Structure 1
């Protein structure tokens, strides 16, 4: 039986990645790239880039013109509560803080608004273990 994180990831199709890196050697680039290769729709959120992973980049979550299932966060923990508030504001279904990122306040914001919440887990690892792919 799949664990909670696997179920959250499997339910997502469109993933907004806050902090997707321009540097291919960083996990903040390679992890979203692996999700994209597995069939997920990736929407990069970055303050300066125009295109990443072949996708248009948005400056913030509120600028994304389509529904987002999951917000995947590659930013420091102190930024997580603000990102959680934005995720709630755009109607995302889930908030995911990558491995090494923990925020009690982001959890409170997300869960109070009814979002699924995962922290300190890597989406790529969860995807691989659960063998989650999208058609």
Structure 2
């Protein structure tokens, strides 16, 4: 079952490194403003966007597999139809503990697959709001 308890959310928010798939270079978009907020809170943000060179002062990776750093959380800002493919990339990595699908994004089948492989999953929840509520 996807994570929903305050205790589990608080524990997830203790992680430090977040790859943001679909991170935007456009201020005013949630896919930019949420990672910017998280970065200001001290999280190590790794933007993933094949159409950008740099976001939030960091080199943007073309794909999740191109992120060289160890990742704790993969935060997804892509349509629900793309989640299964992103989870495929997550499962190719040994370092990802959590798949976090932002508000309005969910894929129950992909979530179940990630959970079977030992990853925690959060669906349809804004990480910024959760941080303000449970971790800020």
1:13 is aligned to 16
1:119 corresponds, among 98, 119, 123, to 123
Q: Does 1:29 pair with 2:28? A: no
Contact between 1:17 and 1:71, CA under 8 Å: does it hold in 2?
yes
Contact between 1:71 and 1:96, CA under 8 Å: does it hold in 2?
yes
1:46 is aligned to 49
Give per-residue Cα distances to partners, 1:83-113, cap 9 Å, x unaligned: 0111121221110000111101220221011
Gaps of 5+ in 2: none
| RMSD of Structure 2 on Structure 1 (CA) | 1.3
For 2:10 and 2:103, how far apart are their aligned partners in 1? 14
With normalisation by structure 2, the TM-score equals 0.91
**After TM superposition, which residue ranges in structure 1, 4 or more long, deviate above 4 angstroms?**
none
Gaps of 5+ in 1: none
With normalisation by structure 1, the TM-score equals 0.92
- 1:60-99 correspondence to structure 2 within 5 Å: 60-91=63-94, 92-99=96-103
